[in-house]
Structure 1
Amino acid sequence: MRASQSAIFRRIDPFAILSFTIPLAVYLLTLAPSVTFFDSGEFITAIHSLGTAHSPGYPLFVNYGKPFTWLPFGNIAFRVNIATAVSASAACFAVYFLTHYLLKREELVPDLRFSDTFARLCGLAAALAFAFSARLWLQSNHDKPYPLVAFMTAMVFYLLVTWRERYDEGEMRPSHIYLGAFICGLATGAHQTIVLMLPAYAWLILSKNWRLAARVKELALTVAFGLMGFAIQLHMPIRAMRNPLLNWGDPRTLDLFLWNFLRKGYPVEPPDRNLALAWQQLSAFNLPREFTWVGLVLLLVGIGAFFTRRRDEIIAYLLAIVCSLLVIVGYFNTPGDLIFLTEEFFTPIYLLSAVFIGLGLFTLLRLALRNNPVEKLRTVPIKLMAGLLLLVLPSAICAMNYYENDQHENYVAFDYATNTLRSLSPGAVLFTWGDSGAFPLWYLQGVERMREDLDLLHTPHLVFDWYLDAFPHLFGRSVLRTMPERRQSSEVALKLAVAEQIVSRPVFIDFSTRYSLPFAEYGLKQRGICYQLINDGGSVLRPPDLAVWRLYASRGYTSQMGFRDLDTGKAILIYASCRMEAGEILLRMGYRQQGAEELSAAAAIAPELRAQVEQVLAAYGAR
């Protein structure tokens, strides 16, 4: 028994364990404690209800995250955030696994065991460099599907590399290709960007023997296994028939499924391309930003040193970069203000980049140690020194990115949403405009069951019948039903919906709605970060309700948290802008002291508004 246990422990790879546990520990330390902005609230609501998220639906990510909602601690959002931390850690393990596999036959010194130890150390260093890169770390501490896609990308790459080696040995292993095709089909349920890797995968296969493309039986089986994985998409129509809490696009029919899967709900007019925009788009893929310039040099060293032995793997990696840039930059032609969204699509390529950084580390280590006798290299000080040197790069990347990616105090979205709910009268309806203003509210009401007396309506969706169907008590006989989707704008739909609701209940709009569309026909009464519409023709100036500020939680905009993404900054600015607006209204109405206090609060929340605050005070002769 003892002998068998000893054998098991000898087979355990401590470096493999560390490649997963170290990133996971850091991710958990920096994990967001609740819902965040962008797609977070919507993803969590879809996962909780096993529903359908925004296009293209994300059925694999939804089903992957669901078991984590059963954890016995934390709120649902925190549990789903843990799911992403686990998938990101698995992606880091994949870097270690691939790096060590590519180095397993490489000789550092004549001692094979010694060479293998340092190959594992290089794999660990590469895994940690990827773990602490800005892009993956940002995706790891709140709910994102891209780390899961990256992990699956690496597994397919590994399967094809092992298939190639068996092929060279005269052994056919088509099961590796079939399994890889299945994983690719399955990965479409996490994100469709997996298709950008298909040319690279095809190269890994066909570069061994171009005649393989003519094998009809194997090709048919590969496609069949890919379709088997793609069957995860059936989650959407099957669950749509059960009317889950979040049922984006209601994809129960083929037409509605294709509407969701093909992202037809997001028509974007491509901008006129110029050199500045093209460079901005290309810069979304930025290796020095993720791994530093030292990391980029190591990557080039790894490619150069291993090009002869791993030529096809390197060509596949470069092909993945070219295809991604051609599609994301060339075809999508993303507008400048949305380019930040495409940065996440490069996560699988960053994973493969980390692998080649590991190969570069091994190359430099081999050059440094090749003239030393083996007996000297076996000493503990030499091993310890070499190991520490290998960890310099990931340590530096970690130190650079820790402060900005530490979200363990990030309550901005949670507090912004709860403060919004506290602003509303009982039985009110709230119209929102931007996703970050709506999705946290969906999570709080749908998952945490807060303020279920309210109706929260997202203005951009009012043009879709599937969305109106979700509110039969509001839109069962609405005039919106008589207007074809293709002829209706969000602005027109909002005005019609407001006119229908305001006669029977309190109607509120959020800050984004307030400044996206004029409401001259209605009076406005400001309640914190929301505005109540009054059906009086807009002729009366009303003082803001200052009492609501005392109901607000202030963690979200007064903490010294380092994390600041685009919408976090906007939320903080909205708090300040609303207080500045309230202060100016009070000054106009003659309430000088209260107005000055509100303006002072605005400057304290957002110091960048201090100059505007001083101008308003000066205009009214106040201090």
Structure 2
Amino acid sequence: MRLPFISSKTPLVKHLPLILFAACFLFYAFTASPTIYPRDNAEFIVAVKTLGIPHPPAYPLYIILGKIFTLIIPLGSFAWQVNLMSGFFAALSVVLVFLILKRLTDNIPVALITALSLAFSHLFWYYSDIADVFTLHAFWLLLIIYLLLKWQEKLQNNQGADKLLFITAFLFGLGFGNHHTLILLLPAILYFIWLTDKKIFYSKKIIYLLLVSLAGLLLIYSFVIIRSQADPFLDWGNPETLSGLLAVFLRQEFGTVFLSKNFVEGWSINNIFNHSLQYFYSLTKQFHAWGIIVALVGLIYLALKKRLYFNFTVLAFLFLGPVIIFLISNIPLDPNVAFVTEKFYLASFIIFSFWLGFGLYLIIKLANQWLKNLKHLDVSKVLIAVLILILPLYSLISNWRDNNLHSYYLDHQYVTDILASLEQNAILITPNDSIIFGIWYVQQVEKLRPDVIVIQTVPSEITHQQIRQRYPHLFSGPITNDKIFAKLTFPSLAQKTSLGQLLEEIILKNIDSRPIYFSVGDPALTSNFTNFLIPQGLVYRLTTKPSDYTPEKMLLTLNSFDQRYSSHDEYKITDQSHFLEQEIFLRYAITYNDLGFYFLSQQDYDTAYQLFLKSLSINPGVPIIENNINLIFQIQNLLAQLEKNPNDTQLKTALAQSYYAARQFDQSAKLLEEMIKKEPENAVLYNNYGLALMGFKQWEEAKNNFQKALELDQTLASAQTSLNFINYLLAD
């Protein structure tokens, strides 16, 4: 069927691929993020800037092409230029989908509408806006499929197709320099070659093809070892030897066939079911329910009419879809895992779009036959065209809010706010990729805050060695004389990992000479340091003297942070917030909660209450923040009741516990001391008094009270545990 406004006889058709590319590229250029985006985005930008080695498997093809692209594009920030490269390869991918379907269906409207449906689908468009490897992966996969079809055509026409097949083989090997999941297309490729020309598998040509692919692979990965030997700023895994290169290539740090071996739980029916459900939810989000129905119609049509292409696409889909699902199903599904894994589905969605195209082709064909007996045929054709256009237009409209990143500055603002919280020559310890890569971007691309040293807490011994080599001055000084601090933060009986040893040396040798910080929102990292952390904006300052941070000093910190936050106080976690937005907003909410708790500990209830409300305005309905507000009311209510009943022991006990919960240790201790005078034989009071004294580091006095508690009640296990702990702290 030929629609009246898209005819093969019109001049428009000849230039349609170029027009389609230009339109999509300009569209993605408009919606691209102008600066860095959370997670790996900033890392890739830094790697392109420095010709460095990002996380395994190093992505050398992406880095090389990125460098070339940024040299060609003179406009915008460097981050936008690298983000734009994703849009460039996305636009080329859209054109390849158009060309492939045009070749297979000989129907321009079908090819065009299918290509646009993919272009505006959620995941494809999303990764067209940010620096990441997935649109280049899509382009490479489609380029190989397109070249295979061209090879098939040349072979059928006896035009000498060997050269094209060898080019395809070389590009296949080269493609490993961008994403290793390209290997999952291999079964479909081999099947296609087998049915097109079986003789290849019985000749030396198959060996030559394998060698050419291997040459492409070796060529692109030679860049990794050459650049690593030059010691670039970003040199993940330090692959300057063959063994190091092999470790990076095989992703040994994360697990060769695992997404991350650090989070592997094991395959289970429940995990597989949850990941499968997530996959089909994502598929529906890309093409919508009626798009999926049309695609299934296309799959049936292929099975009946074009068996080769049916088998090829089914093989490709199975390996790029269900096999991927199985490989990642050893990790329990949560919102973070769902976000990280969804990008791996994109290749299978591209294959799925071919079925959509064939479904549209069949529907139009049947509609055309039905409309032959009706009058006003041209009008009917236009109406059908309008109906078909609904699919890409609906995707464009429904995905516009989430995927239009034209004015996205959140991550850059977040990183800037963190840096504003740090003193000069600060050491920042964090496990958060968005923070690490974001600060690297500010330092390497924008050339700001080179004084800050970021310590990434990854469990990689090679990374730990690199940190030692890059910052030898952090490990050269004496350790702190504050032995209590050292014992509390790094217990001698604790098992030392490579990371633990690294952090112990950095902290104990620099705590007295350099400001050390932890990022907000990483409790697993900061749990050992709670008594020595002071909230300072979006970070915690680690100090051996928390008492130096007076309420007056903290008010200055609060005012400084509040002034910065007031420029973007629209931050609020809602059901419509993107997962990565929620991740950042949450840290602002935690910051206000932590500052509120500090002022609560200082008995400034009004300031604490306002800060808790500010935290709730960002992250509504969080129990821990509501509990903190309730704690204020609880203390005030107990004080009011005690004014009326000053001798009520239960009220005093409850108030002492509330003071302790609010970290008002001095108030708790004062009240307990009064109660002990009236009940000198109460072992529990002595134990609680000791705990309160420990809260503000009155170790000897706390020890005496635990001993007194045990004299009165030898079975009081908590007193014995606390006493043993203090003896450990005070021992030489």
Which category describes the TM-score, using the shorter chain as reference length? 0.7 to 0.9
Residues 573 and 620, structure 2, Cα contact 8 Å, conserved in 1: no
> Corresponding residue for 2:525?
516
Distance, in Å, in 2 between the alignment partners of 1:86 and 1:330 is 31
Distance, in Å, in 2 between the alignment partners of 1:56 and 1:127 is 30
Note if 1:52 corresponds to 2:53. yes
Report the secondary structure of 2:527's partner residue.
Answer: coil
> Corresponding residue for 1:323?
319
Residues 132 and 394, structure 1, Cα contact 8 Å, conserved in 2: yes
- What pairs with 1:414-425 in structure 2 (closer than 5 Å)? 414-425=412-423
My pick for the range that moved more, 416-425 or 135-144, is 135-144
- What pairs with 1:136-535 in structure 2 (closer than 5 Å)? 136-170=124-158, 172-216=160-204, 218-230=205-217, 231-267=219-255, 268=261, 270-286=264-280, 287-325=283-321, 327-335=323-331, 336-337=333-334, 338-373=337-372, 379=378, 381-460=379-458, 463-464=461-462, 465-468=464-467, 471-474=470-473, 488-520=497-529, 523-535=532-544
Q: Which amino acid aligns with 1:228?
A: A
* Structure 2, unpaired ranges of 5+: 1-8, 256-260, 480-494, 638-732
Residues 121 and 390, structure 1, Cα contact 8 Å, conserved in 2: no
Residues 475 and 505, structure 2, Cα contact 8 Å, conserved in 1: no
Report the secondary structure of 1:525's partner residue.
Answer: strand
1:475 CA displacement: 5.4
Residues 412 and 557, structure 1, Cα contact 8 Å, conserved in 2: no
Q: 1:120 aligns with which of 95, 98, 108?
A: 108
1:65 CA displacement: 1.5
Q: 2:614 aligns with which of 586, 601, 614?
A: 601
Q: Which amino acid aligns with 1:188?
A: F
Distance, in Å, in 2 between the alignment partners of 1:477 and 1:140 is 46
From the superposition, tell whether residues 504 and 561 of structure 1 become closer, same or farther in structure 2 (CA, over 3 Å): closer
From the superposition, tell whether residues 466 and 181 of structure 1 become closer, same or farther in structure 2 (CA, over 3 Å): farther
Distance, in Å, in 1 between the alignment partners of 2:442 and 2:429 is 16
Report the secondary structure of 1:452's partner residue.
Answer: coil
Residues 37 and 413, structure 1, Cα contact 8 Å, conserved in 2: yes
Distance, in Å, in 1 between the alignment partners of 2:243 and 2:478 is 24
Note if 1:618 corresponds to 2:630. yes
1:138 CA displacement: 1.5
Distance, in Å, in 2 between the alignment partners of 1:617 and 1:288 is 42
> Corresponding residue for 1:580?
593
Q: Which amino acid aligns with 1:48?
A: K
> Corresponding residue for 1:94?
96
1:461 CA displacement: 5.8
Q: Which amino acid aligns with 1:597?
A: Q
Distance, in Å, in 2 between the alignment partners of 1:362 and 1:51 is 46
Normalised to the residue count of structure 2, the TM-score between the two structures is: 0.75
Residues 203 and 316, structure 1, Cα contact 8 Å, conserved in 2: yes
Distance, in Å, in 2 between the alignment partners of 1:540 and 1:504 is 16
1:243 CA displacement: 2.0
Residues 429 and 455, structure 1, Cα contact 8 Å, conserved in 2: yes
What's the CA shift string for 1:402-438, capped at 9, x where partnerless?
1122222322211110001000111111111121221
Report the secondary structure of 1:590's partner residue.
Answer: coil
Note if 1:16 corresponds to 2:17. yes
Residues 249 and 466, structure 1, Cα contact 8 Å, conserved in 2: no
From the superposition, tell whether residues 547 and 514 of structure 1 become closer, same or farther in structure 2 (CA, over 3 Å): farther
Q: Which amino acid aligns with 2:213?
A: G
What's the CA shift string for 1:153-194, capped at 9, x where partnerless?
111112212323333445551222211111111111111111
> Corresponding residue for 1:110?
none
1:241 CA displacement: 2.1
* Bigger relative CO (Cα 8 Å, ≥ 6 apart): 1
Distance, in Å, in 1 between the alignment partners of 2:626 and 2:328 is 44
1:16 CA displacement: 2.1
Q: Which amino acid aligns with 2:585?
A: I
Residues 200 and 320, structure 1, Cα contact 8 Å, conserved in 2: yes
Distance, in Å, in 1 between the alignment partners of 2:223 and 2:563 is 41
Note if 1:568 corresponds to 2:564. no
Residues 55 and 263, structure 1, Cα contact 8 Å, conserved in 2: yes
Report the secondary structure of 1:266's partner residue.
Answer: coil
From the superposition, tell whether residues 491 and 570 of structure 1 become closer, same or farther in structure 2 (CA, over 3 Å): farther
1:61 CA displacement: 0.8
CA-based RMSD: 3.0
Report the secondary structure of 1:359's partner residue.
Answer: helix
Q: Which amino acid aligns with 2:580?
A: D
Distance, in Å, in 2 between the alignment partners of 1:62 and 1:39 is 13
Q: Which amino acid aligns with 2:288?
A: T
From the superposition, tell whether residues 294 and 581 of structure 1 become closer, same or farther in structure 2 (CA, over 3 Å): same
From the superposition, tell whether residues 466 and 378 of structure 1 become closer, same or farther in structure 2 (CA, over 3 Å): farther
> Corresponding residue for 2:705?
none
Distance, in Å, in 1 between the alignment partners of 2:40 and 2:187 is 29
Q: Which amino acid aligns with 1:273?
A: W
Distance, in Å, in 2 between the alignment partners of 1:606 and 1:329 is 33
Residues 82 and 131, structure 2, Cα contact 8 Å, conserved in 1: yes
Distance, in Å, in 2 between the alignment partners of 1:546 and 1:394 is 48
What's the CA shift string for 1:90-122, capped at 9, x where partnerless?
111111111101012xxxxxxxxxxxxxx1111
Residues 371 and 380, structure 2, Cα contact 8 Å, conserved in 1: no
> Corresponding residue for 1:483?
none
From the superposition, tell whether residues 310 and 159 of structure 1 become closer, same or farther in structure 2 (CA, over 3 Å): farther
From the superposition, tell whether residues 236 and 477 of structure 1 become closer, same or farther in structure 2 (CA, over 3 Å): farther
> Corresponding residue for 2:684?
none
Aligned residues: 594
> Corresponding residue for 1:112?
none
Report the secondary structure of 1:508's partner residue.
Answer: strand
Q: 2:87 aligns with which of 82, 85, 88?
A: 85
Distance, in Å, in 1 between the alignment partners of 2:26 and 2:411 is 24
Distance, in Å, in 2 between the alignment partners of 1:84 and 1:353 is 21
From the superposition, tell whether residues 600 and 561 of structure 1 become closer, same or farther in structure 2 (CA, over 3 Å): closer
Which has the larger Rg? 2
> Corresponding residue for 1:115?
none
Residues 102 and 111, structure 2, Cα contact 8 Å, conserved in 1: yes
Q: Which amino acid aligns with 1:501?
A: N
1:605 CA displacement: 1.9
Distance, in Å, in 2 between the alignment partners of 1:142 and 1:426 is 31
My pick for the range that moved more, 445-454 or 260-269, is 260-269
Identity across aligned pairs (percent)? Answer: 24
1:517 CA displacement: 3.5
Distance, in Å, in 2 between the alignment partners of 1:435 and 1:372 is 58
From the superposition, tell whether residues 227 and 344 of structure 1 become closer, same or farther in structure 2 (CA, over 3 Å): same
From the superposition, tell whether residues 376 and 161 of structure 1 become closer, same or farther in structure 2 (CA, over 3 Å): farther
Distance, in Å, in 2 between the alignment partners of 1:276 and 1:136 is 28
Q: Which amino acid aligns with 2:534?
A: K
What's the CA shift string for 1:117-152, capped at 9, x where partnerless?
xx1111111011111111111111111111111111
Report the secondary structure of 1:431's partner residue.
Answer: strand
> Corresponding residue for 1:42?
43
Residues 59 and 189, structure 1, Cα contact 8 Å, conserved in 2: yes
Residues 48 and 67, structure 2, Cα contact 8 Å, conserved in 1: yes
